[in-house]
Each structure stands twice: as structure tokens, then as C-alpha cells.
Amino acid sequence: MVERLSGKLDAKQEDSMLPVIRHLTADDLPLMERLLTLFGEAFEDMETYTAHRPSAGYLRRLLGGDSFIALAALKDGAVAGGIAAYQLTKFEQERSEIYIYDLAVAAAHRRQGIATALLQELKKIAAVRGAYVMFVQADTGVEDEPAIALYSKLGVREEVLHFDIPVDA
């Protein structure tokens, strides 16, 4: 079940065993704030996700633009999971890719199909937007094995190297 418009969820949607997947818009700032907190908790990195939060204007522009996609999985009135992704418009052909930047599910809601539901909804959005592929990076630590298992079930693994190149201010 997906809800794309801002507004309140009805009781039937909130009480369902399946999460409501909501595509956040510029009107969904409270949900985006809750999603940032969820990412901080799930990744044990509250500093990155909560200490220097973007302004409301910044978040409205981000959520209202066409290059950022935020999905929230809502269960029992809580943000149970979410995705933050970017649409990358390609130059070599008229197509795009979707880069999954963050995907997290709250500890109390894991192993319930929420991450898969989020990815399936993102695939639908990607298709509508003309993307030909979605991709994600995964760390290789023991704590990341569930994510790697999920991605392996849904996609093809590529062996690549990743480099962070600092930008001098």
C-alpha cells in the first residue's frame, strides 16, 4: 500500500499488518525529520543525522525537487523504515539510474519485509522516471550481512572499489 499525497492516514491503513509506504513530498517535513532520526538510530550515527539538520526550506526544496526520493514505511503510526535515494540523469543516453543512499528499518520492525517493500516501491518510481537500474553500496562488516543478503536476493552483485576524494574548501 502506497500513499504519495500529504495528509493523514486513515485508521484502516495504520492498523494494517503491512506498512504503508509513503513517498515524501515537500509537505512532509515532520516525516522527513522522523526518517532522519531513524537513520541515525539504525546506523548508530546520531551525530551525522541529527546534530546539524538541514533547515525546513532546504528539506522542502530537496523533497520537492526531481533528483531526490524519500520513502517512509509507516507502521502503527511510527516510521518503521525508510529509503533516501537520488536519481542520476545520465549523459550518454536519455535514461537515469537510482542510487540508494540510505535504507534502514527500525530494530523492532526488522525481518518483516519492510526493506523489501521499500525497494519494490522504489522500483516502481524508478520505472515511472525512466531509470534503467537501481544500485546501492554495502559495507562488508558482519553487521551488514543482512543487508548484503537482501541485496543479493534482489540484484546482481558487482565487485567494485569505492574511493572518497576530499574536497578542499
State mean pLDDT over 87-91.
Answer: 95
State mean pLDDT over 23-46.
Answer: 96
DSSP secondary-structure letter at 26? T
96-133 pLDDT per residue, tens: 999 999 999 999 998 889 999 999 999 999 999 999 99
Hey, is 92 helix, strand or coil? coil
The pLDDT value given to residue 164: 79
In contact, 140 and 107? CB cutoff 8 Å: no
In contact, 9 and 3? CB cutoff 8 Å: yes
State mean pLDDT over 59-84.
Answer: 95
* Domain edges within the chain: 2-154
2-154: CATH topology is Aminopeptidase (3.40.630)
74-85 pLDDT per residue, tens: 998 899 999 999
Identify the CA nearest to 38 among candidates 115, 151, 134, 125. Answer: 115
Radius of gyration of the chain, Cα coordinates, nearest whole angstrom = 16
* Alpha-carbon gap, residue 112 to 109, rounded angstroms: 6
pLDDT tier at 16 (50, 70, 90 boundaries)? low
